[in-house]
Structure 1
Amino acid sequence: MKKEELRYLQRLAELYPTIGKASTEIINLQSILNLPKGTEHFMSDIHGEYEAFAHVLRNGSGAVRKKIDDVFGHTLSNSDKRALATLIYYPKEKMRLVKKIEEDMENWYKITLYRLIEVCKTTASKYTRSKVRKALPADYAYVIEELITEKAEVLDKEAYYDSIVNTIIEIGRAENFIIALAELIQRLVVDHLHILGDIFDRGPGPHFIMDRLMEYHSLDIQWGNHDAVWMGAAVGQQSCIATVLRNSLRYGNQDILEDGYGINLLPLATFAMEVYKDDPCSVFEMKGTSNYNAAEKDLGQKMHKAIAIIQFKLEGQLIRRHKEFHMENRCLLHRIDPEKCTITLPDGKEYPLLDTNFPTIDWKKPYELSAGEKDVMERLESAFRNCEKLQKHMSLLLDKGGLYKTFNGNLLFHGCIPLNEDGSLKEVQIYGKTYKGKELYDVLEAYVRRAFFAVDNEEQRKGRDILWFIWASPNSPLFGKDKMTTFERYFIADKATHKEVKGAYYRLLENEEVIDSLLREFGLDPAKGHIINGHVPVHQGEGESPVKCGGKVIVIDGGFCKAYHKVTGIAGYTLVYNSYGLILCAHESFTSAEDAVSKESDIVSNRVAVHYTTKRRLVGDTDTGIALKEKIGELMQLLDAYRRGIIKEKK
């Protein structure tokens, strides 16, 4: 036995000091391998739509209703199944409504408890008792375990369970117990959650989504470009801060910053009112501002314009500082002719400007911030850096997140893999060196982490600037378009200038040879693996399918954000991967939790099998199974070492 191997086994022996303990662990692990694999739930491009996100999380994209159907079949009516599903999603709210109309609550409690217990039994059956035990709510752990565990030694099982249920009702704990069971079912129906990026921007509740994810039992996050720009803002990258503010003002979501994160926007408001007091800022109209009065809209538009001009200046400085980003064509302020009120774009075409009032621009040095703009940005940078809640949310993105993940044979990422038109991996220059494919993803993620953790100031600055690169560069795997036409959308009427052309990756999604090579690039088997990503909304209303390349690619951005519903024709896709295969779920628009409770409506509109397995997948077939098999092998070696007298038992 090699010295290193012996040293490792001696460390392992500290955890399993006897033959008996090592043997027991081998048996336990072997039993886990033969359980059905846990259900994975994939969500993408949530964009701050907290209520819809929370509902889909509660119903597991239809997984809860599927469990109810499995348990009760035709023994319950569809209306009873809907009522039970709604109760599991919203136990507190549903019971408040039931108490207003139900005459015999004691009977309702008893029927409901029995139904929930049966669903709980089925939901828990695919896990070990140890895993279920860890998921149980502390106050009712023992009682729930008694109710969902088959007890062979009890002769009159009906009387045994009746006595427990009756006691729960008699002592007035039925409602609390129902809530505990409903939340346990929600917890067990999904084993692991994948978020494929873009939690932030557009919708009003990204901070609520992040709070919810901080409490979630098992998840990973693949960063989206909108997450990256918030990460940049959190570390004080001023171009990212300006972008976050502009996006928030554009969608009328300044409440996220002020109320959600406690970031003071008064310096920007004061500056905007002073500099743009006589400017209607009409091209900076905000979306989704129905709740604002005329004065609030006027202020919002002025703030919107002020931060947009600051953003264009800061981006120009950044691009000129980093020639290797190859984004000089996005420096546009110096292309404005203030006398003619026109702009000449890099293609040589001249266009009239929709807004010609630029009081803060020095045309000799168009990218230099005015004294007032510098003061605003310094105050905002301090506010973002020192926001405790924002930093906690960023810590979650760093702890649970990354640019990509390989998991159970699937490759998960938000956007794309930069490709040349022939399908070969595109080389991208990052700070003087070129990278492609997996290596590009790895180096970009390393720089992101340096932005937060590097001690060296220059490395930290490079990391901060790379977060903006990830947000906006044509060579970014999280953006993947030829340019971000923010300036053109505000200032030029001709919509041809607003067009953002997708990269080669999106034109090659049906090319099996290319997709197979990408899966191999990330160490996956093309015969079994899938690429799962979001970022670009699928236009189902126009007949576009989210399933590409014969099922090898699944694009699950169907437009969670309300701003995209008219474009996509639905309200988002999610994906479920259980022991039977991959199921794609298309969702209807979500109105409110109140409607879901009172009307017992669900938002899963269509479930389509993407891939079914002929044999039910077990834990042993997963990445977790591979790790468990390795551990079993190591424990077998430890047993051999005990039996050969190489390592002594510690009894």
Structure 2
Amino acid sequence: MRNINQKYFDILAKEYPTIQSICREIIHLKAILNLPKGTEHYISDLHGEYDAFKHLMNNCSGVIKEKTIFLFHNEMSYQEINDFCYLIYYPQKELKKSHEKIWYQQQILRIIRLSRYVTSKYTRTRVRRHIESEYADIIDELLHAQLDELDQQYVYHLQIIDSIIELGEQDDFIDILTKLIKYFAIDQLHILGDIYDRGKAPDKIIDALIKYQRVDIQWGNHDILWMGACIGQSACIITVVKNCIHYHNTDLLEKGYGIPLRQLMIAAMQKYAADKQALAMEKYCLDLQIKLERKLINKYPHLHMDYRLKYNHEELLSEEEIKILFDLKRSFMNSSRLKKHIQFLYQKGSLYLRTNHNLLLHGCIPLDENGQFYEHTCFGKKVKGKTYFDFVNEHIKKAFLYKDLESVDYLWYLWCGDKSPICGRRIVLDHKETETKDYYYHYIYQKEICEKILYEFHLYDEECMIINGHTPVRVKDGESPLQEHKKQVVIDGGFCIQNQKKTGVAGYTLISNSHGMRLKTHHIHEGAYTDCDTEYDSQIIYTRAHQELVKNTKNGEHIQEQIDDLKQLLKLRK
């Protein structure tokens, strides 16, 4: 019987049937290794703010404007640059206006120049593969020709553009090119958790990410809460419902995911008749949440969650409450759109990511009072540091793949536990108290603690950093997202409108490219995001002495593995 290795090479041989096809792919992959590393963007805590997210993706956190200024600062006024960038961000809006032929000629020529600049660090094959249009050949030629205004090639290209305009295809052509620019301006998007809750449209964000694909997600506690609800964890379900009511987002459940709340509303209005509907429903949900959490606290004493409820409460659910919870559970588990979104979170997500010199996580690495890794008891084992994270990742997968009851219930702990790596805060449910944070948040100011954490995750280079979300940075109170020692940066800055009062800013984008890393601070934006461009402040974190190439990245490691496999296949063929 053939082993797995033999079967793998049989499959590879079908994909590359000749020696020439193998050699061609090796040459192609080696060329990719020596290209500059693509641009990575890191964002966090979107909390359902779809309009802000959409605008960020359209302007690529200001990168498109920067590249436009670099190319055209001697040719265009500041207003012309703004107008041109708006055309890139929202072509359908701008192209509704009436424009002369000369305007189209000028804009298409400029868009081609910008497209050529943005795609210059990618192979011609990859760029061509992305252009899903009958105009692929024409665009390929326009992008990869080096033009001289005195050359016949320039005249030839002008003729192509004139023909496009005469045939009335200029709007579609511009739309294709602007999508190309936005696609290649960001090579990889990292989201450090909390897509859900507070804002009205996390579902639209995930729809956009599903189309985008080049994304990884480090789960936040709000994401885990929805993941738990989707697979039927009752405490997670009622907490999701309560949060949606609190933030006036019941349309997300009822219209977005087809989860009816009518029976809960009727029961709440009967119990709390003196209150307005939303408040009555929120109170009713809190009653259910307390009962469900009390049961979990008693069931899993090793999680030490007694602090969560200060007072004694009636533990038994009434028949009516059981019926309401049963119906909600069935609705959550049967929502096809919710399943699709949570499955995407599961496929693209993890508790942490170690990539390209950085450790990405939402919350914290639990520490004890001495700054040592906290030893946590879960599923009968004592674990800490990286082992704790890997162990929890394994049980999140068990929850989804096998619906293991203890693993499913553990998602509730991850949502709100004080030693949960994605919460790390002690919050009392039934009494208003100041929350207590994990020791991680006290020790992270020390360079040696950050280095100890990075070493624990096998990150040893000088530029290695911890990149965090979860905790809003109160810039208006003098806090900084970047620690002085530059070993940790927190990029939860206020995408969520409710948090902007705390932070004084509208979020952050951390940008890493082949030349280094910088942090962009988004200014608070008044009015619709399509009215004008977002303003940013930019801070350089470090600049590389030598340009980083694909071969120095995690993706480069995967490509090198492919090359090694193809070389082995070549030996077998020869």
TM-score by length of 1: 0.84
Alignment-derived partner of residue 527 in structure 1: 462
Deviation string 1:334-360 (CA, Å, 9 cap, x unpaired) is 1xxxxxxxxxxxxxxxxxxxxxxxxxx
Q: Secondary structure at the match of 1:220?
A: strand
Aligned counterparts of 2:7 and 2:104: Cα–Cα separation in 1: 58
The aligned residue for residue 427 of structure 1 is 375
CA contact (8 A) 1:574 1:586 kept: yes
Instruction: Determine whether 1:404 maps to 2:320.
Output: no
- Alpha-carbon separation, structure 1, partners of 2:546 and 2:318: 67
| Residue 337 (structure 2) aligns with | 389
Equivalents in 1 of 2:67, 2:551: separation in Å? 23
1:531-564 Cα distance to aligned partner (Å, 9 max, x none)? 1110000111111111115211111001111111
Partner residue of 1:553?
Answer: 488
Contact 2:310 2:428 survives alignment (8 Å) = no
- Secondary structure at the residue paired with 1:138? coil
Distance 1:151 1:586, change over 3 A: closer
Q: SS of 1:547's equivalent?
A: coil
Instruction: Give the match for residue 325 of structure 1.
Output: 303
Counterpart-to-counterpart distance in 1, 2:182 and 2:10: 41
Distance in 1 (CA, whole Å) between partners of 2:121 and 2:43 is: 23
User: What residue in structure 1 maps to residue 162 of structure 2?
Assistant: 166
The residue identity in structure 1 corresponding to 2:530 is: A
Letter in 1 for 2:504: G
Aligned to 1:40: 40
1:89 partnered with 2:89: yes
Q: Which residue identity lines up with residue 368 of structure 2 in the other structure? A: N
Is residue 220–residue 401 contact of structure 1 (8 Å, CA) maintained in 2? yes
Q: What secondary structure does 2:430 align onto?
A: helix
Write out per-residue CA displacement over residues 276-311 of structure 1, whole angstroms, 9 at most, x where no aligned residue. 11x33xxxxxxxxxxxxxxxxx21111111111111
The amino acid of 1:465's aligned partner reads: D
Q: Is the 1:313–1:333 contact (alpha carbons within 8 Å) kept by the matching residues of 2?
A: no
Match of 2:320 in 1: 372
| Contact 1:418/1:437 (8 A) holds in 2 | yes
Contact 1:520 1:526 in 2 (8 A): no
User: Aligned pair 1:239/2:183, yes or no?
Assistant: no
Aligned to 1:605: 536
Say if 1:116 and 1:377 are closer, same or farther in 2 by CA, change over 3 A. same
* Residue aligning to 1:248: 244
User: Which entry has the higher C-alpha Rg, 1 or 2?
Assistant: 1
1:621 matches 2:552? yes
Amino acid at match of 2:214: S
Q: Is the 2:89–2:178 contact (alpha carbons within 8 Å) kept by the matching residues of 1?
A: yes
In 2, distance between residues paired with 1:578 and 1:4? 38
CA distance in 1, matches of 2:4, 2:334: 46
C-alpha contact 1:50 1:209 (8 A) present in aligned 2: yes
CA contact (8 A) 2:352 2:389 kept: yes
The size of the alignment, in residue pairs, is: 571
Asked whether the 8 Å contact 1:416–1:477 carries over to 2, the reply is yes
Structure-1 residue corresponding to 2:291: 313
Task: Please report how far the alpha carbon of residue 612 of structure 1 lies from its aligned counterpart in structure 2 after TM superposition.
Answer: 1.0
Conserved 8 A contact 2:19-2:573: no
- Secondary structure of the residue that 2:485 maps to in structure 1? helix
1:162 to 1:376, Cα distance in 2 relative to 1, 3 A:
same
1:468 partner SS: helix
Structure 1 distance, partners of 2:527, 2:86, is 13
More moved, 105-114 vs 314-323: 105-114
Identify unmatched segments of 5+ residues in structure 1: 281-297, 335-362, 490-496, 642-646
Tell me how far 1:379 sits from its aligned partner. Answer: 0.8
Checking the alignment, whether the CA contact within 8 Å between 1:36 and 1:619 is kept in structure 2 is: yes
Q: Does residue 127 of structure 1 match 2:104?
A: no
Give the distance between the partners of 2:129 and 2:303, measured in 1 at CA. Answer: 49
Q: Give the Cα separation in 2 of the matches to 1:22 and 1:368.
A: 67
Alignment of 1:188-227 (within 5 A): 188-227=184-223
Residues 533 and 554 in structure 1, CA contact (< 8 A), matched pair in contact too: yes
**Distance apart, 1:226 and its partner CA:** 0.3
Answer yes or no: is 1:467 the counterpart of 2:411: yes
Q: CA deviation at 1:11?
A: 6.0
| Shift of residue 116, structure 1, vs aligned partner | 0.7
Q: d(CA) in 1 for partners of 2:344 and 2:478? A: 37
Question: Which residue in 2 is equivalent to 1:285?
Answer: none
Question: Contact conserved, 2:147 with 2:154, CA < 8 A, in 1?
Answer: no
Alignment of 1:430-441 (within 5 A): 430-441=378-389
1:302 to 280, 284, 288: 280
Instruction: Select which of 430, 438, 441 maps to 1:487.
Output: 430
Deviation per residue, 1:560-600 (Å, 9 max, x gap):
1111111101011111111111110111223454x534xxx
Q: 1: CA distance between counterparts of 2:146 and 2:83?
A: 30
Identity %: 39
Contact 1:133 1:145 (8 Å CA) reproduced: yes
Query: After superposition, what is the alpha-carbon deviation per residue over 1:129-165, rounded to whole angstroms, capped at 9, x for unaligned?
Result: 1111122132432222121121699951121111111
The CA deviation at 1:80 is: 1.1
| C-alpha contact 2:259 2:332 (8 A) present in aligned 1 | yes
Q: Distance in 2 between matches of 1:107 and 1:43?
A: 39
In structure 2, the CA distance between the partners of 1:590 and 1:485, relative to structure 1 (3 Å rule), is farther
The CA distance in 2 between the partners of 1:6 and 1:434, in whole Å, is 39
Q: Which amino acid aligns with 2:85?
A: A
Q: Deviations over 1:385-443 (max 9, x none)?
A: 00000000001001111111111111111001011122211111112211111111112
Alpha-carbon separation, structure 2, partners of 1:141 and 1:404? 39
CA distance in 1, matches of 2:6, 2:536: 57
**Within the alignment, does 1:596 sit opposite 2:530 as a pair?**
yes
Match of 1:150 in 2: 145
Displacement of 1:628: 2.3
Deviation, 1:70, is: 2.5
Instruction: Give distance in 2, aligned partners of 1:16 and 1:431.
Output: 46
Residues 199-230 of structure 1 deviation map (CA, whole Å, 9 limit, x = unaligned): 00011111111111110141101100000000
Task: Find the aligned partners of 1:10 and 1:205 in 2 and give their Cα distance.
Answer: 46
The amino acid of 2:533's aligned partner reads: D
**Aligned partner of 2:111 among 112, 116, 121:** 116
Normalised by the size of structure 2, how large is the TM-score? 0.95
- The DSSP-based 3-state class of the residue aligned with 2:436 is coil
Quick check: 1:540–1:569 contact (8 Å CA) kept in 2? yes
Q: String of CA shifts for 1:187-207, please: whole Å, max 9, x gaps.
A: 110011111000000111111
Do 1:319 and 1:331's aligned partners in 2 also have CA atoms closer than 8 Å? no
Where do residues 555-574 of structure 1 align in structure 2 (5 Å cutoff)? 555-574=490-509
What is the CA–CA distance in structure 2 between the aligned matches of 1:34 and 1:66, rounded to whole Å?
Answer: 25
* 1:194 match: secondary structure: strand
Cα 1:148–1:592 shift into 2, 3 Å: farther
Take 1:125 and 1:229, find their aligned partners in 2: how far apart are those partners?
42
Pair 1:637–1:163, CA change in 2 (3 A) = same
Q: Decide whether the 8 Å contact of 2:238 with 2:288 is kept in 1.
A: yes
In structure 2, the CA distance between the partners of 1:192 and 1:22, relative to structure 1 (3 Å rule), is same
State the Cα distance separating 1:9 from its structure 2 match: 6.0
Q: Does 1:501 align with 2:436?
A: yes
Distance 1:233 1:46 in 2: 20
Q: Distance in 2 between matches of 1:108 and 1:7?
A: 58
CA RMSD across the alignment: 2.0
5 Å-filtered alignment, 1:37-76, equals 37-76=37-76
**Is the contact between residue 47 and residue 195 of structure 2 (CA under 8 Å) also seen in structure 1?**
yes
Q: Which amino acid in the other structure matches residue 488 of structure 1?
A: H
> Partner of 1:488: helix, strand, or coil?
coil
Q: 1:105 aligns with which of 93, 100, 104?
A: 100
Asked whether the equivalents of residues 419 and 503 of structure 1 are also in contact (C-alpha less than 8 Å), the reply is yes
The answer to whether the 8 Å contact 1:230/1:241 transfers is: yes
Residue of structure 2 in register with 1:348 after alignment: none
